[in-house]
Structure 1
Amino acid sequence: TNCWAVDNLINKGDQIILITVQPPQAHHTRKELFEDTSSPLVPLEELRELNFTKQYEIAGDPEVRDILDTASMTKGAKAVAKVYWGDPREKLCNAVEDLHLDFLVVGSRGLGPIKRVLLGSVSNNVMTNASCPVTVVKGKQSSNSHH
């Protein structure tokens, strides 16, 4: 997978944290345990397992897994995942603080117009309020777009 973020932002031995923000009304076992604190860090190996999908009700995104695989193979980066529940604008800023992130990458690939507007408000809010640099990586929306 050709991924701008991996090529340009990841250094040898970095830790990559894949952050997912779930809606607050989601109901499942892990949410009851971790809603206030967010989930523990989940190793990449567990992301591949059906168990993770069941426990957190998140379908693994194969494209994201490919990117994480590429980063671990080419840069020796260690990938883990973390799940938050609530408003992504607030939770992504919390994650920057909690995890002492050096930078945050927000993706916006292949979304419909409504989701794109929503994501726009999330990325704008995070860019304004996060205490670390934020990169928004646009996905391939049309054949003439370059990223």
Structure 2
Amino acid sequence: MAGEERRVGVAVDFSTCSLEAVKWAVENVVREGDYLILVTIRPHIYYEEGEMQLWETTGSPLIPLNEISDPTIMKKYGVHPDLNTLEIVNKAVEKKKIVVVMKIFWGDPREKICEAVDTIPLSSLVVGSRGLGKIKRAIMGSVSNYVVGNAPCPVTVVKNANF
């Protein structure tokens, strides 16, 4: 894999679980020169006009870290990154000399995360697990279980330390 561009994806919704996934990816997978791509999924919304309508099927353009850190820019996407996630990725940029970008998709998280693997394309993917019990997982479905079974790249599921 020497010389090959690695694109490590992390599915984020800015919850505690996705924060754990970002931490784990930075500590265990991402290495110097990699792209760390934060993949976030927003609920499907019908827009009457503008950029969002164009991005509904392909996702947003890749958003650079300086724009991810700007609340005004992120507001137009309906995304609100938490300060802890931003701190982790900013430190990783300094320490590991990586590039961090975000790609936003709209729709069902299970399907769109798998779609992101091909669209971007990703070398590997890290997702957090909310720690649903067997009954809740059976009723609600598990995004991480679906992604592990359907994504065409290696997937790592990071459990929240509190579960």
Q: TM-score, normalised by structure 1?
A: 0.82
Please report the RMSD computed on the Cα atoms of aligned residues, expressed in angstroms. 2.6
Deviations along 1:50-92, whole A, 9 cap, x unmatched?
Answer: 2222211111111211221122122111000010001111111
User: 1:27: how far off?
Assistant: 5.1
Runs of 4+ in 1 over 6 A off after TM superposition: none
Aligned pairs for 1:110-129 (under 5 A) are 117=137, 121-129=142-150
Give the letter aligned to residue 23 of structure 1.
Answer: P
Distance between the aligned counterparts of 2:153 and 2:25, measured in 1? 16
Work out the CA distance in 2 between the residues paired with 1:63 and 1:120. Answer: 28
- Aligned residue in 2 for 1:105: 126
Aligned to 1:38: 59
TM-score, normalization by structure 2: 0.74
CA contact (8 A) 1:53 1:59 kept: yes
**Which residue number corresponds to residue 52 of structure 1?**
73
* Counterpart-to-counterpart distance in 2, 1:7 and 1:119: 31
Q: Of the candidates 15, 27, 40, which is equivalent to residue 7 of structure 1?
A: 27
Q: How many percent of aligned residue pairs carry the same amino acid?
A: 42
Q: Does 1:20 align with 2:40?
A: yes
Aligned length: 139
| Aligned partner letter, 1:20 | T
Partner secondary structure for residue 126 of structure 2: strand
Q: Deviations over 1:13-68 (max 9, x none)?
A: 10011011001036595422311111000000001112222211111111211221
Question: Which 5+ residue runs of structure 1 have no aligned equivalent?
Answer: 143-147
The structure whose RCO (Cα within 8 Å, separation 6+) is larger is: 2
Report the Cα distance in structure 2 between the residues aligned to 1:119 and 1:67, rounded to whole angstroms: 30
Match of 2:16 in 1: none
User: How many Å apart are 1:5 and its aligned residue?
Assistant: 1.7
CA displacement at 1:108 relative to structure 2? 3.3
Taking a change above 3 Å as real, the CA distance of residues 66 and 26 of structure 1, as seen in their structure-2 partners, is farther
The equivalent position to 2:97 in structure 1, one of 63, 66, 76, is 76
SS of the equivalent of 2:60 reads coil
Q: 1:19 and 1:36 mapped to 2: Cα distance?
A: 15
